[in-house]
Amino acid sequence: MSSIKSNNWSHVIAVDMPVDERWTFARHLGDLLNRQFHLVWADGRAHVPRWRRIMIYVTIAIKLFFHRRHINLLVCWQQFFGLIFASICQLFHVKKNTSLLVMAFIYRPKPGIIGRIYRWWIHRTLTSGYIDKVLVYSKHETHYYAQLLDVEEQLFQFIPLGIDNVEIAYITDEGFWFSTGKSNRDYAFLINAFANNGHRLLIACDELKQPSAENITVLHNCYDNKMLQVMSRAHGVIIALNDDHISSGQLVILQAMALGKPLIITHSQAIADYVQDGVNALVIDKTSLALTQAVERLNNDIELYNSISASSKKQFFSRHSVKAMAEAIANII
């Protein structure tokens, strides 16, 4: 039975982007479980203003709560749909009859009293008994979050991230380096490192202002297919991360792999399941010298460049498809 949008609320996927019955993740998961999925969505992605995203999270969670008696399985692609749903269930002490999977969990400690309240709420919700599994995109995070939030490690389950094949008509190489993403990025380091090395860099990020360096260009309103078109013209992709404990950058890693664009990425425990230094990426210390040397190495060593490109594409198609991710989730269910 195909997974299509249905009025039957027994199996639900809640997602923070526009989807329909053609969405490959829902179709694959539905086929594997022999169930139809009802799709509940609202656009709450990173380019949406923060206040509006919060309203969307709460509104969707309330909608799910009022349908809870009909929902046997709830898969929350956006973590806050699931967390807020579980929190509301706990608040009203309702009977649990919904198996709840929270996907793509990320927790960043916040400072001050707001941070203490936020941690208390996350801990209370995770231990409420309404959440069956929390899915994370790195093995490291299963232990890290268990220790940080004082919850049972078995609550967390690692699955490799999977995405649809990136379909670009013409993949070219215009010689520039490219970086994108909003979460956990160290653009200050990246801009400082490139400001004096003579290599051209394009960064797609709405929160950045145009730096004074002439070889660096910041692109605004550049995401989804528009961003992929820019990436498809790059010589390679660079990801500079801040916190090396939390998942971030994996989506860009997989998009670059699918396009065969070699990666340079700073050390992070949370991306160790996706990249291997010298095989499908160059993993570097976060220093200007290390970054410049990696850029020049890939510019000058065509054999290494082609080897990393080929290995990246091979790993993407063998491990990181949406179908592979759906299979991992179906096994958990």
Burial class (CB in 10 A: 0-12, 13-18, 19+), 96: middle
Across all residues in the chain, what is the average pLDDT? 94
Q: How confident is the model at residue 2 (pLDDT cuts 50, 70, 90)?
A: very low
The verdict on domain 11-158 having CATH code 3.40.50.2000 is yes
Q: Is the dihedral of CA 294, 211, 268, 234 positive or negative?
A: negative
Provide the CA 176 distance to its chain's centre, in angstroms: 24
Candidates 236, 272, 24; CA nearest to 140 is 272
Q: What's the token pair of residue 54?
A: 């919060």
pLDDT tens per residue across span 78-136: 999 999 999 999 999 999 999 999 999 999 999 999 999 999 999 999 999 999 999 99
pLDDT of residue 104: 94
Burial 194-218, CB ≥16 within 10 A → b, else e: bbebebbbbbbbeebeebeeebbeb
Structural element, H or E, at residue 17: none
Q: What is the mean pLDDT of the segment spanning 57-69? A: 96
* CATH 3.40.50.2000 domain range(s) in the chain: 11-158, 177-319
Architecture, CATH, for domain 177-319? 3-Layer(aba) Sandwich (3.40)
> Cα–Cα–Cα angle for 123, 98, 92, nearest 5°?
60
Percent of the chain with pLDDT over 70: 98
pLDDT tens per residue across span 298-313: 999 999 999 999 999 9
pLDDT tens per residue across span 10-36: 999 999 999 988 899 999 999 999 999
Q: What is the mean pLDDT of the segment spanning 175-191? A: 95
pLDDT over 60 at 4, yes or no: no
Percent of the chain with pLDDT over 90: 86
pLDDT over 80 at 139, yes or no: yes
pLDDT of residue 7: 66
Backbone phi, psi, residue 44, to 5° = -125, 35
Provide the whole-model pTM: 0.88
pLDDT tens per residue across span 233-274: 999 999 999 988 888 899 999 999 999 999 999 999 989 999
Q: What's the token pair of residue 13?
A: 């996927």
Rounded to the nearest 10°, the torsion over CA 240, 246, 251, 254 is 80
pLDDT of residue 196: 77
